[in-house]
Amino acid sequence: MKKISIMLLAFVMVNAIAIKKGMAQVAAGNPAVTEKQQHKIIFQLTTGDTLAHKALMKQLNNITTVVPGTQIEVVCHGPGLSMLVTGKTVVHKKCNK
């Protein structure tokens, strides 16, 4: 369970770095990055670990704060489905913002 959480956190950090780098290129006026470019990100959640659920929600909030037009999809499998079940989730309040 800890191994999955560490892998998810590493994945989140890599995404954050990539988004930050992309935003720096946009701010610097890099001609390779146009203003019309839309970011598309897919997250996969396969753990029932509530700490991973909270980390995912923080990451989603960070992305939408930095790049509001980003298209985000979250795919849940197996134990990760518990994040979507009202009686089992710990992040329900954060989903209703």
The answer to whether residue 31 scores a pLDDT higher than 90 is: no
| Domain assignment of residue 86, given as a range | 2-95
* Per-residue pLDDT, 45: 93
Q: Pick the more confident residue, 69 or 12.
A: 69
Give the closest residue to 1 by CA, choosing from 63, 50, 60: 50
Residue 33's pLDDT is 52
For residue 24, the one-letter residue type is A
Token digits for 2?
């800890």
* pLDDT per residue as tens digits for the range 44-89: 999 999 999 999 999 999 999 988 889 999 999 999 998 988 888 8
Q: What is the pLDDT of residue 39?
A: 81
Residues 55, 12 contacting (CB under 8 angstroms): yes
Total number of domains constituting the chain: 1
